[in-house]
C-alpha cells in the first residue's frame, strides 16, 4: 500500500509539472511542440486536427512558424511525410496549411451548393471511409472554407439530408473530428474530456485532460462546460475532481472552473 501511495504522489507531481510547463509556454510554441510530439510518437492524428481546426488563422500560422524555428522542418512537410501512407494524408496537409478567411460574410448560395456536394459524396461513399476522406470536394470544402461558412454548410446539409454531418462521418474518425473542431469546437472538446475521465481511459486519453485544460482555459472553457453538461448531464468540474488527485486536481480545477 505504501508503495502505491508513493507511486500516486509521483504521478501527481509529474502531471502537475507537465501542466505548468505547458501553461508557461507561448501558445505557438506549445502547439508546435504538441504537433511534433504527435507526429514522431505513436499518437493519434486527432491532436494535429485539433490544432489545425480550432486555432485562428494567425494562431495556426504562428504555430507553423514556431515549428519551423524549433525543428528546422515545416509542419506541412512533416505531416505529409508522417501521414504519407494514410488515406487522410491530403486532408491533414490541407488542414495544417490553411489560412482561412475569418470575417462574417457567407454566401448562402455557395454554402447550399457545397452542402449538396457533401451529401452526394457521403451517399456515393457509403461505408467506404477511404473514398470519402479522399473525395476532392470533401477535402476542398473542409480545408479552405471559413468556419462561419462551414457552419452554414453543415446547417444546409442537415436540412437536405436529415442528419448532422458528424453522424454520417462517424465511421471515418479524422473527418468527423475535423468537422466538429471547425464548426462546434466546444462540443468536440467536451467529448475529449469525457473520454479522458472515463473509467476505461488509456494513456493518450488521460493526457488530453491536461491539454484541453491548458489550451482552452482562456478561450472557450465556459462553452465547453455548457456542452459537457448538455451531452453528459453533469458538471465538468465534478467529473475532473472525481478523477484527478492532489495538486494536479487543484491545478486542473483552477483552469476548468475558471472564476466559478
Distances (CA, A) of 62 to 37, 103, 177, 178: 17, 19, 22, 20
**CATH code, 26-99:** 1.10.220.10
The Cα–Cα gap between 236 and 35 comes to 26
Q: Residue 19 has which C-alpha cell?
A: 501542466
Q: Residue 44 has which C-alpha cell?
A: 493519434
Closest alpha carbon to 176 in 125, 214, 219, 138: 138
Which range (28-42, 128-142, 188-202, 214-228) has the least confidence?
128-142
Taking only the tens place, the pLDDT of each residue in 163-214 is 999 999 878 899 999 999 999 999 999 999 999 999 888 777 778 999 999 9
The Cα–Cα gap between 252 and 237 comes to 9
* Residue 13 pLDDT greater than 50, yes or no: no
Q: Please give the backbone phi and psi of residue 215, each rounded to the nearest 5 degrees, phi first.
A: -80, -20
Give the confidence band of 259 by pLDDT, cuts at 50, 70, 90. Answer: low
CB 193 within 8 A of CB 206: no
* Residue 32 pLDDT greater than 70, yes or no: yes
Distance of CA 250 to the CA centre of its chain: 24
Q: Which pTM value belongs to this model? A: 0.91
* Residue 3 pLDDT greater than 80, yes or no: no
Q: Give the count of beta carbons closer than 10 Å to the beta carbon of residue 106.
A: 18
Please report the pLDDT score of residue 244 as a whole number. Answer: 85
CB 168 within 8 A of CB 122: yes
The Cα–Cα gap between 176 and 195 comes to 16
Alpha helices in the chain (DSSP H): 2-24, 27-40, 46-54, 57-71, 75-82, 89-97, 108-125, 129-133, 136-144, 147-161, 165-168, 173-183, 185-196, 203-216, 221-232, 236-243, 246-256
Between 20 and 150, where is the model more confident? Answer: 150
Taking only the tens place, the pLDDT of each residue in 44-53 is 789 999 999 9
Q: Give the count of beta carbons closer than 10 Å to the beta carbon of residue 77.
A: 11
The Cα–Cα gap between 12 and 18 comes to 10
Q: Of all helices (H) and strands (E), which one includes residue 149?
A: helix 147-161
Amino acid at each position: 500500500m505504501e508503495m502505491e501511495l508513493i507511486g500516486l504522489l509521483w504521478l501527481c507531481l509529474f502531471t502537475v509539472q507537465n501542466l505548468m510547463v505547458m501553461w508557461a509556454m507561448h501558445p505557438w510554441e506549445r502547439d508546435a511542440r504538441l504537433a511534433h510530439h504527435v507526429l514522431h510518437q505513436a499518437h493519434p492524428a486527432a491532436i494535429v486536427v485539433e490544432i489545425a481546426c480550432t486555432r485562428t488563422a494567425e494562431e495556426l500560422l504562428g504555430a507553423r512558424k514556431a515549428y519551423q524555428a524549433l525543428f528546422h522542418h515545416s509542419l506541412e512537410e512533416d505531416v505529409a511525410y508522417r501521414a504519407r501512407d494514410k488515406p487522410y494524408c491530403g486532408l491533414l496537409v490541407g488542414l495544417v496549411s490553411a489560412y482561412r478567411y475569418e470575417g462574417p460574410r457567407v454566401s448562402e448560395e455557395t454554402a447550399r451548393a457545397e452542402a449538396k456536394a457533401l451529401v452526394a459524396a457521403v451517399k456515393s461513399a457509403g461505408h467506404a471511409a477511404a473514398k470519402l476522406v479522399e473525395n476532392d470536394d470533401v477535402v476542398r470544402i473542409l480545408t479552405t472554407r471559413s468556419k462561419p461558412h462551414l457552419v452554414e454548410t453543415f446547417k444546409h446539409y442537415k436540412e437536405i439530408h436529415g442528419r448532422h454531418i458528424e453522424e454520417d462521418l462517424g465511421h471515418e474518425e479524422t473527418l468527423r473530428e475535423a468537422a466538429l473542431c471547425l464548426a462546434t469546437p466546444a462540443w468536440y472538446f467536451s467529448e475529449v474530456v469525457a473520454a479522458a475521465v472515463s473509467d476505461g481511459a488509456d494513456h493518450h486519453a488521460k493526457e488530453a485532460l491536461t491539454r484541453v485544460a491548458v489550451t482552452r482555459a482562456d478561450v472557450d472553457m465556459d462553452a465547453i462546460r455548457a456542452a459537457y453538461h448538455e451531452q453528459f448531464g453533469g458538471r465538468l468540474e465534478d467529473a475532473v475532481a472525481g478523477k484527478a488527485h492532489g495538486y494536479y486536481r487543484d491545478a486542473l480545477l483552477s483552469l476548468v472552473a475558471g472564476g466559478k
